[in-house]
Amino acid sequence: MKQRITLKKIAREFGVSISTVSKALKNSNEISGELRDKIKAFADYYNYKPNSLALQLRNQKTSVIGVIIPEIVHHFFSTVIDGIEVYANEKGYNVMVCLSNESFEKEVANISVLANGTIDGLIVSIARGTQKKDNYHHFEELIKEDFPLVLFDRVNDALKCDKVIIDDIGGGYSAAEHLLEIGSKRIALLTTQDFITVGALRKVGYRKAMQNAGLDVDEDYVFKLDDAEDLYEQIEKVFELEQAPDAILAVNEIYAAIAMKIAKEKGYKIPDDIAVLGFTSGLISEFTSPPLTSVVQHGFLMGQKSAELLINRIEHTAGKEYHKEVISTNLKIRESTKR
Amino acid sequence: MKQRITLKKIAREFGVSISTVSKALKNSNEISGELRDKIKAFADYYNYKPNSLALQLRNQKTSVIGVIIPEIVHHFFSTVIDGIEVYANEKGYNVMVCLSNESFEKEVANISVLANGTIDGLIVSIARGTQKKDNYHHFEELIKEDFPLVLFDRVNDALKCDKVIIDDIGGGYSAAEHLLEIGSKRIALLTTQDFITVGALRKVGYRKAMQNAGLDVDEDYVFKLDDAEDLYEQIEKVFELEQAPDAILAVNEIYAAIAMKIAKEKGYKIPDDIAVLGFTSGLISEFTSPPLTSVVQHGFLMGQKSAELLINRIEHTAGKEYHKEVISTNLKIRESTKR
DNA sequence: TATGAACACGAAAACGTTGTAGTGACATTA
DNA sequence: TAATGTCACTACAACGTTTTCGTGTTCATA
């Protein structure tokens, strides 16, 4: 790569000092009109742009915010990033994305390379590995140093920082409620392992709705799937219950779509024999047949809110107390539950 | 945010010079064992980490690569980023993602803020707005300065730089060929406006396959959709042809899924009355019913290749000639074309 | 004829780091 | 005793920028 032109080189060219060049380019009237114009023309010709590293170092500000997400190939996370990007850009910030790939170690490593001057603040959704390990030292370090930090979606309540979460309990509740309203009696729940907080919270909502309707939750109808290769096999077990469920509530779109596929293979009519409902963030729900009723999560909004909280914290270190924003969900009713 | 600890502060604490501290922390044996240990303990306690901005400025290297994509909420682009991230990380680089939102202006702006010292190299997929405007000055500037640049997917042949593309012609060809093989005679093509190169190239492949089979391409069967709100209406026109097509080849997953939905509504049996085939990068194809046969694009690989080319160029400015990698596609045959 | 603006520029510090080239103090060698 | 070495440390430049505080000239004013 060619060497970029610097103030120093321009100064040498004109036999003046660096300060003079800097001022000339900034249209300072300390510099005579004639020299100013010559310098500007020259700089323009060589396409001079101030080196941002130097500026960042001087101003002790990078205008970059870091984002660490578990994976990017996930519609929900992309929408969040989109929201972050849009808001951040508006405010003059750039976004640096890193992936933890759900791994504790990568999360730690990412934080360690990011939080050393490269970024002004950090937005994170906690990796599965970290939740499993239940080790949050790397976040506590940041918090101890008052480093601007916002957690979203996968958060940990013990950490003292701003947070943005989906109303997972509410989502689970209204999903189950809807299934009950259409007359379902035996609702199977497809959820994740317990340490995944969002799955756990959605289950809480489901349980609440059931109790509210005077129904007991039969643990046989709760399937805690692990994200392995054999999702099909794991979900098939739903249909081996003594009394088949008449509705399935899945905590994500994929589980729901697979369940529906299996149900159809086994000859169930949807929604008549069995209703299916998922949480969504992607496009699958719209294109299955029948299209899936689902709890939609507003990822874009979540991203925007996260960026807003972060930038507020960066710019006005003011407010000492931390905010916890809750993004509510919508129930998008499609054919899979219309009966 | 609390002030981070610096070499200077440590030096002041011990009444020694900055260099001494720097060397002590680097285990230099120029420094006596005793002092070295004390300094290291102190630095450790205060969690000293060298400021990366300072290092980047000094070393004239950021180890960050910039990526500009048209949009992130698009499975294909996320997989590419994933590939870039993985490869870059392996090589010790971080990734900074920016979105052009398909806009020429934002693309220009992004390049201008990135290519000023913040990044060592840039990977871009050209915005639709830029293709429409046919204005590539911002890239030419970079190339003129020998700035490491890799274009992927949406490229422009006139630009002298490394490129990674999908074999769109080949994909279009094998898609059409497959439809012909299963006995289709009238294949409708759902593609994009001409200035979108990937759409245009896939059409070339389609045309080639048709000619190869001794068939003329009837332009009435070619639908150039624009990405507006009324995709449904636009695609419905396919079914208003005098002689209905017996196969549909769509240049992306959404077009294909919508076409299939409409076809089913109109009472067509898939694949018997009409076969449907799309290009995919996402999960929709798997969960439609019937599942969609599609040309799969290896986004992850594309990302890896792009990062590889870029980092090679950054590190060994060597090779003067530019590479053009072609990632070939796979045809994943599902139910929508099995007859 | 001093005084003091106005003008047009330069010096230097600061941001945080690293590496090269000193520099004293002491010990060893011829 | 003088030259040489070693040890343990410091000074300084460099990366590129901005900004505050000079400083020397010219010109007008009292």
User: Is the CB of residue A130 less than 8 Å from the CB of residue A119?
Assistant: no
- Residue B216 or B318, more confident: B216
- B140 touching chain A per CB within 8 A: no
Residues B289 and B303 in one domain: no
Establish if A179 belongs to a structural domain. Answer: yes
Nearest CA in chain A to B77: A73
Rounded to whole angstroms, how far apart are CA atoms B136 and A214? 66
Chain mean pLDDT for chain B: 95
The reply to whether A105 and A253 lie within a common domain is no
Residue B318 has pLDDT above 70, yes or no: no
The Cα of B198 is separated from the nearest Cα of chain A by a number of Å equal to 22
Task: Looking at the structure, tell me whether residues A102 and A144 fall in a common domain.
Answer: yes
Report if residue A27 sits inside a domain: yes
On whether residue B310 sits in a domain, the answer given is: yes
B172 in the same domain as B156: no
Task: Give the mean pLDDT of B238-267.
Answer: 95
Report the distance from CA of residue A17 to the C1' of nucleotide D3 in Å, as an integer: 47
Going by pLDDT thresholds of 50, 70 and 90, the confidence category of residue B282 is: confident
Residue with smallest Cα–C1' gap to D13? B58
Q: How confident is the model at residue A108 (pLDDT cuts 50, 70, 90)?
A: very high
Q: What is the DSSP letter of B272?
A: T
- Min mean pLDDT across A29-33, A65-69, B227-231 is at B227-231
Q: CA of B291: how far to CAs of A257, B187, B239, B287, B294, in Å?
A: 12, 19, 21, 6, 9
Has residue A229 been placed in a domain? yes
Please tell me the total count of domains within chain A: 3
Dump pLDDT digits (tens) for A164-190: 999 999 999 999 999 999 999 999 999
Residues B320-332 pLDDT 10s: 799 999 999 999 9
Same structural domain, A89 and A157: yes
Regarding whether A272 and A183 lie in a shared domain, the answer is yes
Digit-coded pLDDT (tens) for B164-223? 999 999 999 999 999 999 999 999 999 999 998 899 999 999 999 999 999 999 999 999
Residue A317's pLDDT band (boundaries 50, 70, 90)?
low
Which nucleotides of chain C have an atom under 7 angstroms from any protein CB?
7-12, 14-21
Is residue A1 included in any domain, yes or no?
no
List of E strands, chain B = 64-69, 94-99, 121-124, 149-152, 162-166, 187-192, 222-225, 247-250, 275-280, 293-296, 324-327, 330-332
Closest partner residue to B116 (CB to CB) among A52, A254, A284 is A52
At residue B317 the predicted structure's pLDDT band, cuts being 50, 70 and 90, is low
Q: Which residues of B touch A95 (CB under 8 A)?
A: 96-98
Residue percentage of chain B with pLDDT more than 90: 93
Indicate if the pLDDT at residue B227 is higher than 80. Answer: no
| d(C-alpha A250, C-alpha A230), whole Å | 16
Residue A55 placed within a domain = no
Same domain, A190 and A282: yes
Residue B95 sits in the same domain as residue B237: no
User: What's the Å distance between residue B31 CA and nucleotide D5 C1'?
Assistant: 17
Interface contacts A/B by beta carbons within 8 Å: 145
Residues 234-273 of B with CB under 8 A from A: 254, 257, 261, 264
B41 in a domain, yes or no?
yes
Tell me how long chain A is: 339
Q: What pLDDT is stored for residue B7 in this prediction? A: 97
pLDDT band (50, 70, 90) for residue A227? confident
The predicted-structure confidence for B76-135, as pLDDT tens digits, reads as follows 999 999 999 999 999 999 999 999 999 999 999 999 999 999 999 999 999 999 999 999
Q: Is residue A107 part of a domain?
A: yes
The CATH number given to whatever domain includes residue A42 is 1.10.260
Task: Say which CATH number the domain at B279 has.
Answer: 3.40.50.2300
The CA distance from A111 to A303, in Å, is 19
Residue type, A96: M
Kindly tell me if the per-residue pLDDT of A318 is higher than 60: no
B41-64 confidence digits (pLDDT tens): 999 999 999 999 999 999 999 999
Rounded mean pLDDT, A35-62: 97
- Closest residue of B to A299, CA-based? B73
- Range of the structural domain that residue A75 is part of: 60-166+299-328
Residue A229: its pLDDT value, please?
77
Residue with minimal CA–C1' distance to C13 is A58
Instruction: Answer yes or no: are the C-beta atoms of B122 and B150 closer than 8 Å.
Output: yes
pLDDT, residue B250, reads 97
A104, HSE (Cβ side, Cα atoms, 13 Å): 10
To test the contact with chain B by mutation, choose from A62, A75, A103, A118 the residue with the greatest count of B C-beta atoms within 10 A, namely A118
